[in-house]
Copies of this chain bind each other. A is one copy, B any other.
Amino acid sequence: MTRDREVSVRFRPSGREAFVLPGTRLVEAAAEAGLMIDLPCGGEGTCGKCRLIVASGASDPTAVERKWFSDEELRSGWRLACQSTVQRPLEIEIPSASHATLDQKILVSYQGRGGKKGLEPFTRDDPLVRKKYVELAPPTRGDDVPDALRLESALGVGPLTMSLSLLREISARLREADFRGTAVFDDERLLDFEIGNTEDDAFAVAVDLGTTTLAGQLTDLATGSEWATTARLNPQTQVGDDVLSRILFAREKMDGLARLRQSVVSAVDEMIGDLCGEAGVPRQRVYELSLAGNTTMQQLFCGVDPRPLGEVPFVPAGGRGVSCPAEKLGLHIHPRGSAYVMPVIGGFVGGDTVAGMLATDLANVEGAALFVDIGTNGEIVLLADGKLTAASTAAGPAFEGARISRGMRGGAGAIEKVVFNGRLMINVIGDVPPMGICGSGLIDAAAEMLRHGALDCAGRLRTPDQLPSNVLPDMARRIVMHQGQVSFLLVDEGESADQRPITLTQRDIRELQLAAGAIRAGISILLRRAGLRPEDLQLVLLGGGFGNFIRRRNAQRIGLLPLEVERSRIRFMGNTSLSGARLAALSRRARDAAEELARRAEHVDLSTDADFAREFAEAMIFPDTEC
């Protein structure tokens, strides 16, 4: 066990804290604490934007940092988050400019190969929700214009549309507010008139409707900053862990669709409650909701019969995004708040992929680029010659920890990082004993096992007598027989939360191979169809709710991503389904872009590709030459 080697990193002004292994980069430590730091150059140290101040415990500056800061700045603790690593307990101050906020760039941006700025950031110049405080002259005998028109004049807007429910309240509201209050606009519609000045009090919730995992985020519309995040298991997993099992349930069971819909709607509504509770924000101050998921998840969520998605030729009901009152979906935010469900590309390439294209701004990369969204399904979008091609592979939920014997979501207690450096070291999310392993930890573990001889190229766990002669003692001792099968011991019994050993079984490794292989095969086919080689890719943008960063080298080592791609071109973008949904909750322009991207992308059905089976079989063999 290596828990004793972890060190604390505290961040100001948020007060958040992370416990990480020595050697972790500051940007990863920040991510661990839930703080996203903007890396415009992708962490290469070439833009100098990810500045922060190490208030205590700073290690010596790197050569790159010396280029960016004066001696005095360096003495004051100025460092780059992408360069400095954690060596001892730290206190770090993040200047607001380094924080990824709506006011500068959202979540991620990068430069194209030619140094040209690729991303036109979605800024706050076109918010969907606007608030304006006004003071009206009360009506008098000589000035008896209707209340709604009085408000129009005071706001200086054209014809004001409002719902019947607001019209029913507007006269009483104006009088209650003594004719002073805040108009809330959702797009062009008057959503409410609130008593007093509430201009700074406006929120949106974005939701990633994953097949396995639901994730949600509360964003402050006034500042663009994130106030709370939450995640939980999709309760529909009770009827099966893939989309087909859900479609089957909807088709075969009495009220199947209604039951599936109700379960996920209740879960999302509770998550909204959790987010609001955590941030101390009343639900009625949430005016916008935006949801992204695969096509089946979105149809189930909307109560749209998914039956045609379970039969050839797998046709979705709608293509464009769905805008409707949130209450029609059964969700409780502001009673007149809106919900937006992302547009979809095809039966198996849904709103989560569109959200990912939006969040990564894939379409504007210079040269060929790939976006890979790793969830229960693996969606792949290739940009080549300005054309977007999208496909889906049934990767299975291994990367989300499902179908793995000790697998779990990337939450507190999950082993999210595994490093073998003579001795096996693990990093656990949160300040708790390990409970299981999440996707990024699984990739790490398999890669290290492969590198150090515990796995062979075909993914077979070597038994003690098959181990190579140069295997290191701490690796050898972890090959154990557990419950009658050969297993790899990650955490000794007595060190885990439940006092049981945490192991990986041969079956776990197979699940990982299948998941990685399916995605790798999809990548190969899309590249081949475009006449491209992996080394032609200028960028590989990786999305997924792993809970933390994937180690790029390890993702290549286990065959998830092509080995031929230069490592610096691989970028981990986090949960792009969630961040894309968030953009669509904030900006009309982002929403328009999403609609355009969904229609622009061509949908490729991999299962009809003659090469798919062979590519899939080939991708099962680990490519690393070391094995």
Chain A interfacial positions (CB closer than 8 Å to B): 139-149, 159-164, 167-168, 170-172, 175, 302-305, 307-308, 312-320, 322-324, 328-329, 344, 346-347, 595, 599, 603, 605, 608
Contact = CB atoms under 8 A, between A and B. Distances in A.
A328 B164 contact: yes
Contacts of A320: 148-149, 159-161
Nearest to A343: B146
A140 B314 CA distance: 9
- Please name the 7 residue pairs, one residue from A and one from B, whose CB atoms are nearest each other, closest first: A146-B319, A149-B319, A146-B316, A144-B313, A148-B318, A171-B317, A164-B324
Given A159-B595, A167-B322, 9 more contacts: A141-B313, A142-B313, A147-B315, A149-B318, A159-B320, A163-B324, A164-B329, A168-B305, A171-B308
Given A140-B313, A141-B312, A320-B159, A302 B164 contact: yes
Nearest to A317: B171
Nearest to A165: B328
Contacts of A317: 146-148, 167-168, 170-171
B170 A315 contact: no
Contact of A145 (B140, B312, B319): B319
A14 to B, nearest CB: 38
Contacts of A323: 161
A329 B319 CA distance: 31
A143 B315 CA distance: 9
Nearest to A595: B159
A147 B313 CA distance: 11
A168 B160 CA distance: 30
Nearest to A164: B324
A315 B159 CA distance: 18
Given A171-B315, A317-B146, A595-B159, A141 B608 contact: yes
A323 B139 CA distance: 25
A319 B148 contact: yes
Contacts of A316: 146-147
Given A141-B313, A146-B346, A305 B167 contact: no
A159 B145 CA distance: 38
Given A139-B313, A148-B317, A305-B172, A322 B164 contact: yes
Contacts of A164: 302-303, 322, 324, 328-329
A175 B170 CA distance: 44
A144 B346 contact: yes
Nearest to A346: B144
Contacts of A314: 144
A171 B304 contact: yes
B148 A315 contact: no
A52 to B, nearest CB: 44
Contacts of A144: 313-315, 346-347, 603, 605
A605 B139 CA distance: 14
19 contacts: A140-B313, A141-B313, A144-B346, A144-B603, A144-B605, A145-B315, A145-B319, A146-B315, A147-B316, A147-B318, A148-B317, A148-B319, A161-B323, A164-B302, A167-B302, A167-B317, A167-B322, A170-B317, A171-B307
Contact of A302 (B139, B149, B159, B168): B168
A391 to B, nearest CB: 13
Given A141-B608, A603-B144, A171 B305 contact: yes
Nearest to A308: B171
Contacts of A599: 149
A567 B159 CA distance: 41
A141 B147 CA distance: 57
Nearest to A607: B141
A143 B313 contact: yes
Contacts of A147: 308, 315-318
Contacts of A175: 308
Contacts of A142: 313
A162 B302 CA distance: 13
